[in-house]
Structure 1
């Protein structure tokens, strides 16, 4: 007959095994490339590297308190600094391949774990050398203590990723009690990204230096004027400055005084309309106003009025 004590021992062992397995996981979105095959395993499981009262710690709260207490005296900075370059914490990037095919980052500002986080401990996400997410206890911050509730890390700001791509690095130091002893589990993932979320147009748009941003579809003309490529021309000239017909929306195209642009007016305060034949005096810029056009003959569209002939001087005498 099997005693109740034996049954309880088996149940406890199974529970410990299940709990042990639940701690595993990796960043599933964005997806990594694997060096060999997909695995949930920790990279290494080791005894605590800081001497202290680990085995006297009560529950997750006790483990976190002990970690925090010992961190200062052990010159702890962050998980990445703790693990990188130290073979005690296993191979760099764990089982993921940092030379894998780059993938697009999520557009919703998140990173998703493969399962729920069920052990206390700090975790971090880095984009190249910039930390974009950190928490001293990722179980309470991003999970509910169960495996079934998938842990979603947020917010993750992917905008710092270069337009040519960057490396996402995930670190997690899980603190666990196993068979009455405390162990540290190290998790590392490296996932190459194609660039910032959404293609990164805002990251590659340079400032012109005057406080305005030039759109990618409207680059600077190189002469100091921010003329948009999408501004229609008059159809009569290939020059950025069109003729004075008032039909163009380009900042340098109007010469009839209808434009509010600083470079649009070419005749100052003159009330005489410019002629249709008079070309622009040159390429105008935002900084230098155009040279006033010289006085031109009256427009062909408004002919000069000839004085009426005098009947006394020019009229013929009627012969009687």
Structure 2
């Protein structure tokens, strides 16, 4: 189908379309990544392959100044919460961010993130949080903590256990569910939270997909949106900075860096498509519940 860009840097540069669509799903993306254009293209390109037409609106935290794009340009090409406070969206995606080594309270837009989440519960059907955002929102909603790993979790990892659900339809343990991971921390203290279900987990990477049905929230600890060469770029970035980094695991074909195994592509398409299907199902349940209230 088709993914439109309502705003964003690519739309402003004339590098992504805005076609006329018939009743597309409205998706809001809170883009916390410093590589704004790259992240925009990752989501737009992925959603362009799904079974639903979507229009994506890009959101930014007004309380943060990004080093990679001027404040004037980001405010012109993105929207902030006050711009959309009266609008309703089918879905909200919150990206990862390179702030995981900071305590949550040290992140300058953490309070604004709390405001966005509180607003989303009454203005968004489904919420999807990825990587650091998954850790942060789990902390906000459930008090889940995080801890620093001995070394960076970096590579492509398969899920060893997958629970059947709407979100994992068409996905299975092993090669049937693979995901890029690029993080220095992991969540702790989530096991005893009654409302939180682990839908997919890995012996190496830990929980991969978690779900809170009561709050219509999905948490993905990795980066399913990553394109083919994202980990390669991050690898060489860290090497050039003389940071302690090893080759991304399960990523290259063979011992050299000439070929990449794009093993997570189908997982990503299936997962995002399942999430869009879940939005439709959640909305139908909401309509039916309203009808029951009226009939009573």
Q: Which of the two has greater strand per residue?
A: 2
TM-score range, shorter chain: under 0.3
RCO higher in 1 or 2 (8 Å CA, sep ≥ 6)? 2
Determine which structure has more spread, i.e. the larger CA radius of gyration. 1
Q: TM-score, normalised by structure 2?
A: 0.25
Q: TM-score, normalised by structure 1?
A: 0.23
